[in-house]
Structure 1
Amino acid sequence: MSGAELGRLIAAQVCLHATMAGIRLAAPLLALQQGHGAASVGVLIALFALTQVFLALPAGRYVDRHGLKRPMAMAVTAAFVGALLPLLWPAFPAMCVSALLTGGATGATVIALQRHVGRAAQGTAQLRQVFSWLAIAPAGANFFGPFAAGLLIDHAGSTAGDARAYAICFAFLATLPLACWMLVRPTREAPSAAPAVHAPGTRAWDLLREPMFRRLLFVNWMQSCSWDVHAFVLPLLGHERGLGASVIGTLLGGFAIAAALVRMLLPVLAARATERQVILTSNLVVLAVFALYPLLRDPWAMGACSVLLGFALGAVQPMVMSMLHQITPHHRQGEALGLRLMTINASSVVMPLLFGSLGALIGVAGVFWVVGAVMAVGTPAVRGLQAPDEQRG
């Protein structure tokens, strides 16, 4: 895969993901302005992830059958309509449908692009490198989408946050899926694998019968839980320590910047380290940070831990995606990506509820230690990860 083609696909994912991220900021703000309460806004935000839980597997199968462009065309259409709905009908039901459409489109885009990039890469070293670069797209989109939406809401109208400002914001976000399609359209489809012949009893869950896939999914879930617990517990821990909102926000920002930076460095690291080595190192670093984090009270020390955690967890996803493409049959890679996405999104919905209950029972600091203990128990699973070339060796 050429650098120019990869750059276009990264920009395409940024455009479509930024549509969802921008609406995820604008729609709740508009709902609050219209008098809807916190519970309604919570439901609205949850809808962005809901479609990814239920549509990930069907989207994966569809991508396996049709490649890149047809699924991307459907995702672009869904995101475009989702952005237009609150522009044409600025009411809460329209915002809910918009959340479902743009969330589902983002999930389908992730699956389609990851499968295409994985199949177009040549060799395991390039596989690690392309996934390292592709992983930068969500970080860029999560900055650009809300930043652009916030600027337009505050400055595009006669007064900040008036109806005209929101209309211009949604209109701008609706142009991003079209830009995504223009970037994807010149891409050549990857060579087709042997067609998937699914017997009547064959299901995506059959992939879990493969020990290495099951192990990889478990390891990815552990790392995802670590990401979620940091995002969920750090504000509570900071409040408990008497830190201000700006300090807590800076700590979370340091984590996000570190996660993005390490993905820029991974293409160089990928040529020198295997997936298992990177994931195992990340796991050990997370264990050390989670053991120490709750004991700290100085914001600078907490910031150092936050940045270190960002470097450790940010390195994992590209390595997981590289290994997943190596251990999964070509004709079922989209299905495997869908199963992974469904698992991670379902966990992101359920785990914060569990963290909240645990925090009430054992304290905020205890949540870090419980998740750290789970990772310690799961470390042997990381040691057992092997790509096919390692198994042959």
Structure 2
Amino acid sequence: MTGSRMAAPLLALNQGHGKGGVGLLVALFALTQIFLSLPAGRYADRHGLKRPVGLAVIAASVGVGLAAIWPIYPVLCLTALLCGGSIGAATIAVQRHVGRMANSVAERQQAFSWLAIAPAASNFIGPFASGLVIDFAGFQAAFLMLACMPLVGWILLRGARELPQEPVAPGKGAAWDLLRSPGMRRLLLMNWFMTASWDLHGFMVPVLGHERGLQASVIGSILGGFALAAACVRVVMPLFAGRLQEWVLITSATASAGVLFLLYPLTSTALGMGACSAALGFVLSVVQPMVMSMLHQITPRERHGEVLAVRLIMINASSVGMPLLFGMAGLLTGVTGVFLTMGVILTCGSRLGLGLRGLGEDPEGPDH
């Protein structure tokens, strides 16, 4: 999806479509996940790993393949919808399977730390490979190459062993009933803090850099420092994951991110902004594996798919809505005001993480 999310808007721009049309195209990648995540989560709870991923592979390959055959704007919109929905369904199924494979909290932390490397790698490989193919062979060749990637993933997945399915309890209620638990609400709110921070950084740093007269290459380097730090942390995290307490890491990362957002607009040089960017990449990247581990501990095993879907809905809703909110806030308070406000919210909100202490401890082994 990362390659298509770069190639499709670029093709639309080359065809003369305006910024509004390109913005809509980008939003469609997240829109499908908002509406299909819950059905996909329930489907994964009933059918396990391979069937949901198999359907996702078909949808993704067909969607991108259509763009290779008919590279026109309406087809690109369909590609975005199919790619977004398929990656959401596959992500839920894989995360659910990985969480249920673990036999202890330490194993679960390590497993999700390893799994977190994949998005970091795809965020580099997808756009980089697409860009190379576009430059040397054109957009249709790039889409054809991207259509083959899900098939490669399916080949690698075929050897995975399905885990025994848990019977779905009758009358279990709606997925949103999971939010009745105070611990669940705290955990998902802390996860949202990190998601919103990620979105704010990616959206507002170019604006801040532009205000300060920085060149595009410098702004790109600042954002690249964030991505590089995040990738490095996720590579080394599996070595330490079993020794970490989730609530400590989540709380300290949230507080640290708040302090960094307070410092960010006070830096007057590109070097200072780059240091803040790398530090933010470091602290934000450690949260996802810990959140995933805790979600599997505090949720009934037959509802793991649903709770992962709720989390994915929140992430994608944030990715769609927060840039709009940040943009309006920037008009009212200026870019500096947005950074300072987010810093205060995170610093004060980090206290909620103290309520996660002892949440989801499962001394008897895997998911209870």
Q: Which of the five TM-score ranges fits, normalised by the shorter chain?
A: over 0.9
2:5 maps to: 24
Once the 2 structures are TM-superposed, how far is the Cα of residue 369 of structure 1 from its aligned partner?
A: 1.1
Of residues 51, 67, 73, the one that matches 2:54 is: 73
Report the RMSD for the aligned CA atoms in angstroms. 1.4
Q: Does 1:347 align with 2:318?
A: yes
The separation in 2 between residues aligned to 1:190 and 1:183, in whole angstroms, is 17
The yes-or-no answer on 1:387 pairing with 2:359 is yes
Contact kept in structure 1, 2:116 and 2:288, CA below 8 Å: yes
AA aligned opposite 1:134: L
- 1:54 partnered with 2:35: yes
Matches within 5 A, 1:243-392: 243-385=214-356, 386-389=358-361
CA separation in 1, counterparts of 2:233 and 2:355? 24
1:191-270 aligned within 5 A: 191-193=164-166, 195-199=167-171, 202-270=173-241
**Structure 1 segment 174-193 matched on structure 2, within 5 A:** 174-193=147-166
Deviation per CA, 1:8-46, whole angstroms, max 9, x where unpaired?
xxxxxxxxxxxx111111111221222211111111111
The alpha-carbon deviation at position 387 of structure 1 amounts to 2.8
* 1:107 and 2:88 correspond: yes
Aligned-partner Cα distance in 2 for 1:230–1:49? 18
CA distance in 2, matches of 1:362, 1:168: 45
Displacement after TM superposition at 1:347 (Å): 1.2
Q: 1:375 and 1:234 mapped to 2: Cα distance?
A: 18
Counterparts of 1:35 and 1:379 in 2: how far apart (Å)? 45
C-alpha displacement of 1:280:
1.5
Partners of 1:279 and 1:143 in 2: CA distance: 26
Which residue does the alignment assign to 1:125?
A: 106
Matched, 1:172 2:153: no
Q: Supply the distance in 2 between the matched residues of 1:388 and 1:50 (Cα, whole angstroms).
A: 31
**Aligned-partner Cα distance in 1 for 2:259–2:362:** 28
The separation in 2 between residues aligned to 1:97 and 1:77, in whole angstroms, is: 14
Q: Distance in 1 between matches of 2:333 and 2:101?
A: 48
Q: Within 2, Cα distance between the matches of 1:391 and 1:300?
A: 46
Aligned equivalents of 2:125 and 2:237: distance in 1? 22
Q: TM-score by structure 2 length?
A: 0.96
**Offset at residue 181 of structure 1 (A):** 0.8
Q: Confirm whether residue 37 of structure 1 aligns to residue 14 of structure 2.
A: no
Q: 1:155 to 1:207 in 2, by over 3 A?
A: same
- Contact 2:253/2:284 (CA < 8 Å) preserved in 1? yes
Q: Partner of 2:361: helix, strand, or coil?
A: helix
Q: Is the CA contact (8 Å cut-off) linking 2:233 and 2:282 kept in structure 1?
A: yes
The alpha-carbon deviation at position 390 of structure 1 amounts to 7.9
Deviations 1:349-378 (A, max 9, x none): 111111111111111011011111211231
C-alpha contact (below 8 Å) 2:67/2:76 kept by paired residues:
yes
Number of equivalenced pairs: 363
3-state secondary structure, aligned to 1:174: helix
Q: Is the 8 A contact 2:256 2:347 kept in 1?
A: no
Alpha-carbon distance in 1 for matches of 2:47, 2:64: 26
Which residue identity is paired with 2:354?
R
Within 2, Cα distance between the matches of 1:239 and 1:265?
34
Secondary structure of the 1:196 match is coil
- Tell me how far 1:283 sits from its aligned partner: 1.4
Q: For structure 2, list consecutive stretches of 5 or more residues without a partner in the other structure.
A: none
Amino acid at match of 2:223: L
**Distance in 1 separating the partners of 2:277 and 2:125:** 22
Pick which of 380-389 and 117-126 moved more: 380-389
The CA deviation at 1:391 is 10
What are the superposed Cα offsets for residues 99-128 of structure 1, whole Å, 9 maximum, x if unpaired? Answer: 000111111111011000000011000100
2:133 equivalent among 152, 163, 166 = 152
What residue identity is the alignment partner of 2:128? F
Cα shift at 1:264:
1.4
Which of residues 51, 70, 74 in structure 2 aligns to 1:93? 74
User: What residue identity is the alignment partner of 2:29?
Assistant: F
Does the CA-based 8 Å contact 2:105-2:362 persist in structure 1?
Answer: no
Q: Structure 1 residue 198: deviation in Å?
A: 3.8
Structure 1 282/329 Cα, relative in aligned 2: closer, same or farther at 3 Å? same
The code of the aligned residue for 1:388 comes to G
Moved more, 291-300 or 31-40: 31-40
SS of 2:92 mapped into structure 1: helix
Structure 2 vs 1, CA of residues 24 and 152 (structure 1 numbering), >3 Å: closer, same or farther?
Answer: same
Give deviations 1:161-216, integer Å, cap 9, x for gaps.
xxxx22211111111111111011110012322x11241x8100100011111111
